Structures are given as structure tokens and as C-alpha cells.
Amino acid sequence: MNIFSKEYAKSLDQQDELAHFREEFYLKEGRIYLDGNSLGLLSKRAERAVLDLLHSWKDYGIDGWTQGKHPWFYLSELLGEKMITLTGATAEEMIVTGSTTSNLHQLVASFYQPKGQRTKILADELTFPTDIYALKSQLRLRGYDPAEHLVLVESEDGRMLKEEAIIAEMTEEVALIILPGVLYRSGQVLDMEQLTKAAHERGIWIGFDLCHSIGSIPHELSNWEVDFAFWCNYKHLNGGPGSTAALYVNKRHFGQAPGLAGWFGSKKDTQFDMTLELDHAEHAGAYQMGTPHILSTAPLLGALELFNEAGIDRIRKKSLQLTNYMMELIEHELVEFDFTIANPRNDQQRGGHLFLEHVEAARICKALKEHGIIPDFRAPNGIRLAPVALYNTFEDVWNTVHILKTIMETEQYKQYKNERDVVA
């Protein structure tokens, strides 16, 4: 069978052991959704979980904090338990709380402890900008000039980073390291185990932003001895727009007081004593601050069920098959249209999405949407395509590439302005 034929794509779908999970999601007819690395689709179980928690408010009122199927007071810890297989961490090392940025602020406030010549924070120039904004503000709050005390590892090609270059910047002046698990543009997977080992050999604490890796690749945070990590839950984990985020703190740091204190970081049995001295939890729960956002947390109850049933190893296997297949089709069908595949080709280094570069990227994305293909544009010339293992098919991939070929052959993209929309 011709591997570039639609029949071949359909044959791959017939062999797909995760195919039945597609029925769990709300998929719009005539649309191929390839933006799950920005916002995952709604699952029926996530919807049901929201309605269940909404009804617990209706049925119990204030007693919903301690009564019902999922008492709100313990919901953040319960969801931490459901993330064990995704993170390779223990339940006590994780808590669902806050947002990506607020959790980063909390963790830097807790783990950035400048002393002597160790005053600098090491990050990279390709990370998602919110991380840099947060790091600069934390430095200013401590009285340090970010221009001098924030060190950014440079990329040779503007797409990827070399672990060796990162390690070379781990000098005696560095007090803390913050890096992405997967780069948000190119989808490159960094070797978190190697980088953690190198940091610890030099006496430096290290944390990772897992926003683009959680739910798309396996992690072994505890075994790697990562000091801390933080992530959103609305991309690959399908927790819904603005869903509550999560963080991880390695158990060897338990007992350390949080840098930013709040009453939900208390021990559960003493929280309502209402003393003016924080009796903080002896686990990751200490890093909570305010009252949890129950209705923004609720979708995760259903969403994480699907991940635990499918298994992150099977999800990763299919994800790699989908992206490999898409690259093969792109190279076969689009060779004359000046696309550059700017993501890693190597399976170990590639996350859950592809990154194409083209001078007309913004226009092309608009044309794709007109044809029911939902991509993601990244200025100035990037197109991210994320075929998601739980709800995308090999036939989706085949159709996408052939629709893109038609758009390029007929120059349909030229009817649009080559500029991003307000939200990209």
C-alpha cells in the first residue's frame, strides 16, 4: 500500500489502540483541531465533572467544603494523586493550585535565595515570555537589576537549545535555574535529567516549566531529583480555558516555609484555628496561597481520568507516530512550497507538536481555518500543528497536509493579510 495514500492513513487508524478515546471529546463536524498544545478540547467527562461540582454547590452550600463526592477542601490534593503517572512524582509532592505565572512567582520567592556571589538566575531566551516577566520582577523585588542578574542562554538558530550550552552557563554566580521542559515554539524536549544532575553537581537548585510537556511526554521528576516544577492544565491535559494550574516540590524540600504565604498553605487540621502564625503543610500543599478556584479545577477530575486510562506511554507512542507521519507527508507533498520543518526530527527531542516556518505563515493559518483546520500561529513566521493522541487521527493528518497543499497551489492564502489576529 502506498504510504502517502489516504487508504494508508485509514489503515493506521484501524490499528490505533487509543482510537476509542476520540469518542470522549466534543469534536465539531467538518473541523480538524490541531491546537491542543494551546487549548485542549472539552471531554464529556470534564463537562460532567464541572456539572457535578456545580451541583455540589447547589446541594450543599457551604458544607460542600467537607461533604459530597469530592469535598472541595481536599480537591487540590486529590488531583495531585491523579497526576502521579504523568509526572513520576509522589502525591505529596504535587498540588493543583494557582496559575502558571502565580506558581512561578511562588516557587522563585521560595527557592531563589541569593547569597554571596550566587545572585543570578539562569533561564533561556526561547522560553515563554511570562517566565521572563516573572523572573525580572522577582529580581527587582530583591533589589537586583535583571540586566545583570538574569542570564539567558542563547540559541544558535533561534529554534532550539543545546544542553551543553546551558550547562556552560551554570557558573558559581548562579543561584537558581528555570527552564522549559519543552520549548513552546519548536517543541524541543530538553534533557531534564541531565540538566538537573549538572545543576546539582554545581550546588544550584533547578526548576522546570512543564506547560508544553505535561500530558505529552512522560516525566520522572522524583527520580530525576528535580527541585520543583510548575505547569498549566489547559493544553495537553484538556482542563479548560484558564483551568487551575499545578506545581511540584521535591520531598527533600518539605518543611521549608513558602516564600509567599497564604492561608490555604496551612496544615488541614489547623487551618481553621485562625492563628496569626502560619502552620504550613509539610508537603507541596504549603505552596498554596488563596482559596482554590473550585469550578476552574473541576474539569480536571474528568480530564485526568482519561489520561490514567490511556496511559502516558501509549499517548507518547501515538503522538510520535502522528508527528512522524505528518512530517513524512509534508516533505512529500509540500516540497515545492518553501516550508521549513523547524522542530526536532529526533523522537527523543520532539514534543507533541510540529513547528513549520513560512514567510506567509499568518496568511496560511487564516486560510487553514477557513478550511476547518485549526492551527496555531506564532509570530513572525511560525505555524504550530499538534495532532493530539487522544482525539486526532492519522486521517486528520493526511487531510490537513492535502488541504494545505491545495491552499498553496491555488494561492488562497493571498486573500488574507499576513499579520496575526489579536489572539494568536
Asked if residues 45 and 305 have their Cβ atoms less than 8 Å apart, the reply is yes
| Residue 137: partners with Cβ closer than 8 Å, 6 or more residues away | 105
Dihedral sign (CA 330, 335, 336, 337): positive
Residue 212, annotated as binding a ligand: yes
Q: Is 124 annotated as a binding residue?
A: no
Beta strands in 25-142, from DSSP E residues, in sequence order = 32-33, 94-96, 120-124
101 is in an annotated binding site: yes
Shortest CA distance to 252 belongs to which of 412, 90, 105? 90
191 is in an annotated binding site: no
Q: Of 364, 370, 323, give the one whose Cα is nearest residue 32.
A: 370
**CA separation for the pair 89, 331 (Å, rounded):** 39
402 is annotated as contributing to ligand binding: no
Q: Would the CA dihedral through 139, 140, 146, 148 be positive or negative?
A: negative
d(CA 157, CA 114) in angstroms, rounded, equals: 32
CA–CA dist 363, 385 (Å, integer): 15
**Is 131 annotated as ligand-binding?**
yes
| CA 401 remoteness from chain centre | 25
291 assigned binding-site residue: yes
87 annotated ligand-binding residue: no
DSSP letter assigned to residue 340: E
Do the annotations mark residue 264 as ligand-binding?
no
416 annotated as a binding-site residue: no
Helices and strands in the chain: count of H runs, count of E runs: 15, 13
- Per the rule left: phi > 0, alpha: psi between -120 and 50, beta: everything else, 88 is left
Residue 338 marked ligand-binding: no
Contacts of 395 (CB under 8 A, 6+ apart): 6, 9, 10, 13
Q: Write the single-letter amino acid at 242.
A: G
> Please, which residues bridge with residue 341 across strands?
356
Q: Which residues are annotated as a binding site?
A: 100-101, 128-131, 209, 212, 234, 263, 291
Q: Which residues are annotated as a binding site for pyridoxal 5'-phosphate?
A: 100-101, 128-131, 209, 212, 234, 263, 291
